[in-house]
Structure 1
Amino acid sequence: MGSYSFLQVFTVVFALSIATTLFNKRALGLPAAIGVPIVSAIFVFLLQWAVSLFGHNDYIHINIDEIEKAVRTFNFYDFLINGVICFILTSSALKFKITDLRAYFKPIAILASIALILCAIFFGLALYGYQVATGHKVGILVLLLLGAALGATDPIGIKGVLSSVKAPHHLMVKLEGESLFNDAVCIALFMAILGVIKGKDFTVGAALANLGYEIAVAVLIGWAFGWLVLRMLKGKHEMESLILSTAFLATGSYLVALYAHASGPIACVIGGLMVGNRWQEILSEQEVSEVNHFWHTVEGIINSFLFTLIGMELFIIDFHASLLIGGVVAFVILHICRFAANFLAFIPFRNVKSKSYHGSLTILSWGGVRGGISLALILAVANMPQLAHHSDILIGYTFICVLLSGLVCGLGLPGVMNAFYYNPDEPKTGFSGWYQRLCHKMNRSGLQYVVTEDANGKENIIVYNPECLATEPEEVTDVDGDGVVEINDAELAAKVRRLEDPNNF
């Protein structure tokens, strides 16, 4: 009759995915990238508790060791890094406008490269100090490896956050653009440090040359597949062939890039950008809408499936007090290091930094949600002989950082956004009100923007309270007592116009 193990695994995971997704949607109402991992973790803890109470009696026998063995043998790296990530990245790239990339290329490039590397280094050094101070010394290279894995923002998590936050367009482009392009740098840095741990020779020149090769070849492969798929889309089509063509774009470009030892993520992002920005010239508006709807559905299924699997990883972690405390400390260090890295990375680029909207870097730093990519990298190497001794720390710290980044960075992003962008409906009472007042302290000047639209639906960002910029009371006048002010000083008016310039950051 054959083995049903593959079907059994999929049935169990699909059942758990449905349960976690429905519970999150109906009970918690959180974005899927945040709520589903939390619910998965809760379900696993409940299952472990139930097994300890009822798993060994005359009627029910559940072997928890078999469950742990099944989870350990699941190749998470192949599933995500060599599997579904190509669909996730291509789906995002198909909807990402090249005009936005051109407009915000510099900040996206800085965030996805220099800031990521600095964050990984700062995190590894700071966590090394904590481990030494607590008497649980871990090698600096191991912690730098962990920093490299946690350095990248996750496209799955960031899209879940952005769908629940009404962010200004420029911030949405930068957050999503960073998450699309930093995977190549993250994986390259991770593999370079892993090579040193394995005993390979490492030089900065060789690492940069290897990164340059990976990016250049990936761009060529992505362009070639994008051109090929655009040629395939010309003429009459069934909807099935349109969908299959875009699926081929995702898998084909990624696979060829892997064979060429280039960056698979960059290849499928370039291919997706090329097709997504030119298929309006070939396809009807309805066809484009239907293909996008398909990809949106696929993303939702993969997200649910992926985060359910992440929750199941709790079966193989031996949680104890020091591990939990260390994980929380690691998250705090990671959060601080992202802020420091982002602000330091922009210092050499004063022409970019000087134009930035007030509060942009603070919001971008807070919005760095971690997710499946970080876990996949760590889970793929945690049982290697050189790292097996620290596998609990690597997996435990990573899982706690990923979970807390969704809770703190994801759920906390609206409050940080409200500190710099005026929201009349921001919470005023209870815990939410207290948190909102805390976020307002990040905005030392008190200056806020407000996002409006003109008659043509074009977004405008204007200063909401220009009186914060005034040095003398007579520079502004309260027109009718309802808070709307008139600027009397020409120098102040010019400063406000500069701040409202749409070419800024």
Structure 2
Amino acid sequence: MELSLVGLLAGSFAVTALARRLGVSAPLVLVVVGLALSFVPGVPDYALDPELILTLVLPPLLYSAALDSSYLRLRANLRAIGMLAVGAVLCTTLAVGLAAWWLVPGLPLASALVLGAVVAPPDAVAATAVGRRLGLPRKVMTILGGESLVNDATALTAFRVAVALAAGAGYGIAEGLGVFVLAAAGGAAIGWALGWLVHRARMALGDGVLESALGLLVPFVGFVVAEEVHASGVLAVVLAGLYLGHRSPQADPVARLQDRAVWQAADTVLEATVFALIGLQLPAVVAGVGPDLGTLTGVGLALVLVALLARVAFVFPTTYLRPLARRRPGWRPVPWTHPAVVSWAGMRGVVSLAAAAGIPLTTMSGAPFPGRAEVLYLTFVVTVGTLLLHGLTLPALIRRLGVQASEDSADALAEAQAQSDAGRAATARLDALDDGDPLHAQAVTELRQRIEARTNAAWERLGGPVRGGGETPSARYRRLRRAMLEAEREVFVRHRDQRRIDDEVFRRVQHELDLEEVTLLRE
């Protein structure tokens, strides 16, 4: 088991690194490689553990995405995100459920709705990765990212209700809606309360390392606590992440730097692992199907089409049937290419497979859960089918429609103006603190030059490249300073190797040099 896990982690990381080097979609390549390896004799059986995925993998991925999201942009696009994360998920649940009930002989309606619920939420990891690489507009990226933060909560709550109906728990429609609303409200309240408590605790700690360590606990605590009281663990994690991300400027700078590095590394490993697991699930899901494999595969491909059409049929009307919005000042029509891209970003992910694997084996009466093997296999076909279909065609669609970001010049202007205001504020603060001591004159002069350099660099970025391909003053400063830092680092390494300074001294100096070099790279 340990060797299999190490092989999965190392292999998925190697495939991700190769995909990035080649400039192709890593999730798509991981799924294809996983599918290919599932046919190789001797490859271990990587049966999906739903508790492991939903408790240890999903929370950190959601929390990291929430930390990196813009609360203000999400709030500005709340209607579009809500329509997709709730309305589109429920619409897809009904469409796929009714289609499966009609296409699969003997499959009860409740079990068909379970299938609809597990395949309803798109996983935007692959779509947003493509969007970032091809430069999708910020509004489209915000909508896709915001949808992925919330749609799992809608789908898992609908899944819980549908399973209860199929298992004979006696839910009526009204009770099911009540469970749905209470789970959403409870998860949101728990997430906000947890974010508030953790933020206050981090402010009291005043230690960057402890603040980062506390942040690592948040997604797991939020998810488990919410699920224990039958609330939405997904919403709890997302709300906590949004709250703490929005309040991050008040945190210790060391914690902010560490958090960004840690969560980016964790995301890479977790995303690579879960997409590889999708492909490797083939033997496990095929084993329980029996002789109807060919027929069910055809049904699964038909359900891929149903899920695709349901999303398209939902996105376009809800985008343009907005008579009240048109009366607002400054309203502008949405280009049809934007909903086209959003409607085509319908890849399903490992959450669907984990939810399907979590279907109970028996009903409340002790009888086998009706259609469990069929639901699990159809979930696999829809998940892999949408990943391959949309993953292979979405980049071409974006290029064909010419949907690209146009915010670069506006961002550069806004940054330059803000940097000018910040420079004036910093200079005023420096003037207020300057006591005229001649011993401090050199420090004051250097600080003024640093402020001026940062302000000039912002305006230079706005001006674009220098004629003739020459360097701007700021670019020349960064190049020369990096060369100086490299020379300094070589001396410290030589002194360490000659045992003239201790390793602890070397690490402290290297950390200071690294911080300055990273700053130069990002300016």
Distance 1:402 1:381, change over 3 A: same
Distance 1:16 1:454, change over 3 A: closer
* Structure 1 residue corresponding to 2:273, chosen from 305, 313, 318: 305
Alpha-carbon distance in structure 2 between the residues aligned to 1:127 and 1:10: 35
**CA deviation string 1:86-110 (max 9, x = no partner):** 1011100001111111110111111
Matched, 1:83 2:59: no
Aligned residue type for 1:111: L
Q: Which moved more, 1:377-386 or 1:187-196?
A: 377-386
Distance 1:305 1:175, change over 3 A: same
Same amino acid, percent of matched pairs: 23
Structure 1 residue 420: Cα displacement: 3.9
Distance 1:355 1:369, change over 3 A: farther
Alpha-carbon distance in structure 2 between the residues aligned to 1:352 and 1:370: 31
Aligned residue type for 2:101: Y
Counterpart of 1:444 in structure 2 is none
Alpha-carbon distance in structure 2 between the residues aligned to 1:177 and 1:293: 22
Distance 1:232 1:341, change over 3 A: same
- Contact 2:13–2:269 (CA under 8 A) maintained in structure 1: no
Structure 1 residue 156: Cα displacement: 3.5
The aligned runs of 1:236-251 (5 Å cut-off) are: 237=206, 239-251=208-220
- Contact 2:92–2:310 (CA under 8 A) maintained in structure 1: yes
* Structure 2 residue corresponding to 1:332, chosen from 285, 305, 313: 305
* Structure 2 residue corresponding to 1:187, chosen from 148, 156, 160: 156
Structure 1 residue 225: Cα displacement: 1.4
Could you say what secondary structure the match of 1:234 adopts?
Answer: helix
- Contact 1:106–1:352 (CA under 8 A) maintained in structure 2: no
The aligned runs of 1:293-442 (5 Å cut-off) are: 293-318=261-286, 320-345=293-318, 349-352=322-325, 356-359=333-336, 360-381=338-359, 383-384=361-362, 390-421=371-402
- Contact 2:212–2:258 (CA under 8 A) maintained in structure 1: no
Alpha-carbon distance in structure 1 between the residues aligned to 2:224 and 2:162: 24
More helix by proportion, 1 or 2? 2
Matched, 1:261 2:234: no
Rg larger in 1 or in 2? 2
The aligned runs of 1:65-76 (5 Å cut-off) are: 67-68=44-45, 71-72=46-47, 76=49
Alpha-carbon distance in structure 2 between the residues aligned to 1:455 and 1:343: 28
Structure 1 residue 207: Cα displacement: 2.1
TM-score, length basis structure 1: 0.72
Long gaps (5+) in structure 1:
52-61, 424-449, 460-505
Alpha-carbon distance in structure 2 between the residues aligned to 1:350 and 1:369: 31
Structure 1 residue 25: Cα displacement: 4.3
**CA deviation string 1:7-51 (max 9, x = no partner):** 34422432442454355445x643222221111111112x1xxx3
Distance 1:238 1:32, change over 3 A: farther
Alpha-carbon distance in structure 2 between the residues aligned to 1:352 and 1:409: 31
Q: Which moved more, 1:370-379 or 1:214-223?
A: 214-223
Distance 1:25 1:43, change over 3 A: farther
Alpha-carbon distance in structure 1 between the residues aligned to 2:27 and 2:258: 24
Give the root-mean-square deviation of aligned CA atoms.
2.7
Could you say what secondary structure the match of 1:454 adopts?
Answer: helix
Alpha-carbon distance in structure 2 between the residues aligned to 1:78 and 1:289: 31
- Contact 2:187–2:233 (CA under 8 A) maintained in structure 1: yes
**CA deviation string 1:477-498 (max 9, x = no partner):** xxxxxxxxxxxxxxxxxxxxxx
Distance 1:344 1:124, change over 3 A: farther
Counterpart of 1:502 in structure 2 is none
Structure 1 residue 168: Cα displacement: 0.4
Equivalenced residue count is 401
Give 4+ residue runs of structure 1 displaced > 6 Å after superposition: none
**CA deviation string 1:178-225 (max 9, x = no partner):** 110111111111111111111122223222222222222222211221
Counterpart of 1:271 in structure 2 is 240
* Structure 2 residue corresponding to 1:35, chosen from 26, 29, 38: 29
